[in-house]
Structures are given as structure tokens and as C-alpha cells.
Amino acid sequence: MTKLFLFALLLFLTIFPNVLLQRPAMALPLSTDSRWIVDESGQRVKLACVNWASHLETMVAEGLSKQPLDDISKRIVSMGFNCVRLTWPLFLVTNDSFASVTVRQSFQSLGLLESVAGIQANNPSMLDLPLIQAYQVVVSNLGDNNLMVILDNHISKPGWCCSNFDGNGFFGDRYFAPDLWLKGLTRMAAMFNGVTCVVGMSLRNELRGSKQNISDWYRYMEQGAEAVHSSNPDVLIILSGLNYDKDLSFLVKQPVDLTFTGKLVFEVHWYSFSDGKAWETGNANQVCGSVVNNMMRKGGFLLEQGWPLFLSEFGVDQRGSNVNDNRYLNCFFGVAAELDLDWALWTLVGSYSLREGVMGMDETYGLLTWSWCGTRNSSFLQRISALQSPFQGTFVYLVISSHTLDRYNAIVDIFNEFRDCGVVICEIGYTPTLWPGLSNARVHKIIFHPSTGLCVRRNSGMEPLKLGSCSESDAWTYTPQKLLYIKGTYYCLQADGLGKPAKLTIICTQPGTKWEMISDSKMHLSTKLADDSTVCLDIDSSNTIITNPCKCLSRDQTCDPGSQWFKLANSTRSTTSTKLSLSKNLLWNSLRKYLFGLESLGLQDERRSSQ
């Protein structure tokens, strides 16, 4: 029976080679496993979110006067995001005077008659809904489009956020009474209990102001976490830090004390303006090194302690002309790839109905245009797509109906051979067996280029190395001797001279084969040539990998090192072609061995073992 089934499986794979290689649907709710967010089956889920503002004076999700809700949700999906951080003001659920206010009435009271007409045209069914029901409709539609939702308590009094003097900054401020906040969190958590797409709740955005202190942070954040978990035990509990969500350093000495486990996530924010004009006025390498060290000291250390860290706000001027933003973004991409962070981009919003007293204000940080009908910067979307999929914790799933196998335990040894390509056995109709799992997955390096969002890869034949999609990147090994090998081969990376394409060689003791990460940013890959001169990896106008003199290492404030920044990042990704061909070849070889040569696998036929 076993051989007959395996022969049939082999035949099926030969005829339908792609059918068995599939990724199962994400199993919600989410929880945490050390520093990772995982689904119910233990599979890593990377949050690649976009922020959608619904906390301003109208208390309605922005853009509904510009485009139909379902069109907006589908556009989010088409841009590659899997999640929305949807903001809400506390008073939406705690101020009884808002309970019966409709969307129409909210806009009319603010004199936004043009927006009322826009909602009538694009989302007529929402116009006369109470505000909280309109919010629920948005959440429901996001879920219908297979988007996860994080409910973010952005502010108390509806309006633009944030300043030190807006009365919304910290517990005890004019609009931030702790008891009212706990009441609002409880109501919101209970309201969305059982709404599967709501996977997390961020308890408060950007704590700030003169009243902030560590003692009250612990007191009220722990109370808020317990209140939300009691009302909705499925959601992730996301805690922000102090000083506009830039500082969680106090957690080094004292962790939070909660009655539950497996649901706690911390969040931080990081923008270029968090450091003033440093990126524009300083040396980019030195600024990147200094800022990243500070970020790791104040929040990044949590990853090393085994906590998920959600970068819930970052963003840049989408027009592409802001030097401060552009240099920061190159550094950010390197860090996000290296740490494989969960994140949420600010913002989806193309324009606001009303912001800071201005009707129809354009949002230059927005992915969408003012009219919400197009994207501002298609190259940014292409670039960020590299970060939307996890670098670590991805698997190809081999689906087998194990209950039809007489000797399931015997073939477990066969599938151990699949670990290098990340194949996992998944039983039809059963809980998937996550194997080898995150901690045991075979890790390799990718050579990531932050300023393009691309990775170093080989082309066919003797063509030079070029940048290409990270999903098609080669797997590299970086040895203690500082050699960069293509994994599973004898080929190592070698510099061939100034301005010349880097090449692969099997003679890895020659000059130009020992690569070191230099500069404060730790993103210059340098080596020494035969004449003892130092060169760095670089790209030319066609994205060919070349070597040039190392630039912008220090002092120079006008120099942009972006072309020479590369990040060696850990990955368990494989290319699509590698996943398919390697998995098929391994399956074919393993089954062939099992059918025709058991001894080669270290297994014995039942009849022989019983003798």
C-alpha cells in the first residue's frame, strides 16, 4: 500500500508539478513566538501594513468622499500590503454626544458640504450611518478583502496628532483621563471580539508631553493591556513607548507584568525628522550609524530579548525631492531588511477632508494622489515590495494526506532531506506540521541593496552579477574568513578592478575575495585589490555589480553613499524557480530511492527488518 501510494504521488507530481507546492491560508488569530508574530499553525506572519487615518475631526476614514470603500481596500491589496493600521479617536466610543451622530451630520457640522456630496456619490450607503457603524463598515470591508486590521487609539479628542501641548499626550492630560481611556479600550475590544480580521489593538499612539513618566506608563499600560485582553483575548496587544514612541529603553530593567502570554507586541516610530535635519546636514554614513545605534538602544534591543517589535510608523515625502527623507530611507531599508521588521507605512491618505483647519489638504507622505485615484510614486511601491514578504520564516508546503499512508512515520526521514528548500509536511484536514520551523530553518545570506530594494543575483551563462528581485536572489554564505560564497557551490565573490564588474571565482585565496563591512553604517562591502588599494561594491547605471573607490565614508556632508550601500541580511527565502525545481527534484529522488533503493536512505524494508 505504501509503495503504491508513493508511486501514485510521484506520478501525480510529474503530471501536475505545481499543485502540491502551495502556501496554506493564514490561520487567524495571531499570537507571538519569541520575537515573531505567528498564526494559529505557528507559521510566521509578517505585518506589512499601511496607516489609514480615521481620527481627525470628521471621525470618518479619510478618502470616502473620493473613492468607493471597496475600491480603496482593493487598491491597498494591489499595492502589496496585507494589513491596515486604522486609527480612531477615543471620544468616538466614550463621548455620548457622538453616539447618534451620522457621517452626514459630522461633515455638515464642519462645513464640509463638498465632501458630503462626494460620499453621496462614492459611498451612499454610509452617509446616514452613525459614526461608529461607519467605522465598523470600513473594518468589515478590509476583512472582506483579506486584509488584517490593527485598531490604533491615535488620540482622544478628534484632530491632527501630535504636539506636546494638545492635551492628548499622556495620562492625566486635559483630554486623556486614564479611566475614560480604559473604558474606551474595553468598548472597542468588545465591539470587535469575534471579528476575525481585527488582529491587534494599539493601546495609544505617541505618548508625549511634560507629564510623561515611567511609573504611570507601567501602571496604565498594564491596566490597558489587561482590559483589552479580558474583552478580546484573540487580539495582539501593542504597547507604545515614550517621547513620541521613540523610547522603550526603560524595559531593559523592568519588563511589563501581565497575566497572559503570547499576545504582547511593542511598537516604535522612526522618521527622518525624528533627528531634525541631521540626514541633510551630516555625513550619511555617520548619521545612519549613530541613529541606528540609538534606535537599537531605545527599542531594537527588544528583539534580542525575544519580543516582537512593530515599526508602526515610518514614511517619507513621496515626491522624492526631500534630501533628508531620501538619505534616511536608504538607512531605514537596510535596517528593515536586516531585522526583518514588521511595519506600517505612514500613510495611505492622499488628502484630508479637514486637517488643521485646511479643507482638502494634500498629504505629500501619502501613497495615493490628492484624488485617491492613483499613486504618487510607483518606484517607491516597487522598492518597498522587497520588504512586504518575510525574509525569514517562509516555507514551501508539501501537502500530503498522511492518514492514507500506512507508514507515515517511516517517510518522515525522507522529508528531512527537504530542509534546505524549506519544505514542510502539511496534512490535509489536519493541523499543519510546521517543520523544520523558524528556529531550525536553514538560514543563508542575501546581499540587499537598500536604495533600490533589489538583491544581488546571477544571470544565465557568463553574464555579470546584477541587481534583481530579492525573490530571485542567490543564497550566499559569509564565512568567518570573510569570503562570500554562493551557497552550495565553490564560487566566491571577487573584485576585478576599478570600475569593473565583480565576478565569481573558484580560487578564493586571491586578492579581492575577502569582503569586510566598513563605515559607520556597516553597509559598505569593501575588499583589497592586488595593488593593496581598497574598493567597495557599487552599481552602474544598468544595475550591474561593479567595484569603485569607497565613497562618503566620513565627513563629507554632500556625498550620497546610496549606490554603495549593501546589507548582508539573513534569509530563509528561496527563488520561486528554486523552490519548485529543488522541491520536485528532492521529492522525485527521495521517492525513487524509497521505491527502488531503501538502503540508500538508511531505511529498511519491513520484510527484511522483521527477519
Query: Which CATH number do you get for residue 473?
Result: 2.80.10.50
Of 365, 387, 409, the last residue of a domain is 387
Residue 375 and residue 252: Cα distance in Å, rounded? 41
Cα of 302 vs its chain's centroid, Å: 16
* 349 and 456 part of one domain: no
On whether both 76 and 143 belong to a single domain, the answer is yes
Contacts of 444 (CB under 8 A, 6+ apart): 475, 476, 477, 487, 570, 571, 572
In a domain, 563, yes or no: yes
One-letter amino acid at 533 equals S
Q: Are residues 483 and 382 in the same domain?
A: no
Within a domain: residue 223?
yes
Q: What is the largest CA-CA distance in the chain?
A: 90
| Shared domain check, 342 and 450 | no
pLDDT given for residue 459 in this prediction: 83
Written as one letter, the residue type at 314 is F
What pTM value is reported for the model?
0.85
At 262, which amino acid appears?
G
In a domain, residue 151? The reply is yes
Ordered alpha helix ranges (H), 422-500: none
Give residue 528's pLDDT.
97
The predicted structure's pLDDT at residue 408: 38
pLDDT at 461: 60
Tell whether 339 and 453 lie within a shared domain: no
Q: Which of 486, 476, 564 is nearest to 527 (CA)?
A: 564
For cell 515626491, name the residue.
319
SS3 at position 92 = helix
Sheet holding 423-427, edge to edge: 21-22, 396-400, 423-427
The answer to whether position 345 is within a domain reads yes
Do 260 and 331 belong together in one domain?
yes
CA atoms lying within 13 Å on the CB side of residue 470 = 30
Residue 348: name the closest of 116, 74, 45, 130 by CA.
74
Do β-strands 21-22 and 396-400 pair in parallel, antiparallel, or remain unpaired?
antiparallel
Task: Clarify whether residues 336 and 473 are in a common domain.
Answer: no
In a domain, 319, yes or no: yes
Do 460 and 373 lie in a common domain?
no
- Say how many C-beta atoms besides its own lie within 10 A of residue 601's C-beta: 17
Residue where the block lists cell 517619507:
316
Summarize pLDDT for 141-172 with one digit per residue, the tens. Answer: 999 999 999 999 999 999 999 999 999 999 99
Amino acid 525: pLDDT: 98
Asked if 175 and 307 sit in the same domain, the reply is yes
Is residue 19 in a domain? no
Choose the final residue of a domain: 342, 370, 387. 387
Which of residues 368, 387, 406 is at a domain's end? 387
Q: How many domains would you assign to the chain?
A: 2
Residue 584 lies in a domain: no
Nearest 5°: phi and psi at 352? -110, 140
CB 313 within 8 A of CB 269: yes
What gap in Å lies between CA 284 and CA 279, rounded to an integer? 6
Spans in the chain with pLDDT lower than 70: 1-25, 394-441, 461, 574-611
Residue 393 lies in a domain: no
In whole angstroms, what is the distance from residue 492 CA to residue 475 CA?
Answer: 12
User: What's the pLDDT at 25?
Assistant: 59
Same domain, 375 and 226: yes
CA torsion 292-298-304-310 (nearest 10°) is: -80
CA pair distance 556, 397, nearest whole angstrom: 50
For residue 469, the enclosing domain spans: 444-571
351 secondary structure, DSSP code: E
Give the CATH number, domain containing residue 356.
3.20.20.80
Helix (H, G, I), strand (E, B) or coil at 35: coil
CA distance 347 to 382: 16
Q: How far apart are CA 453 and CA 457, in angstroms?
A: 13
Same domain, 160 and 283: yes
> Quick one: 118 and 256 in the same domain?
yes
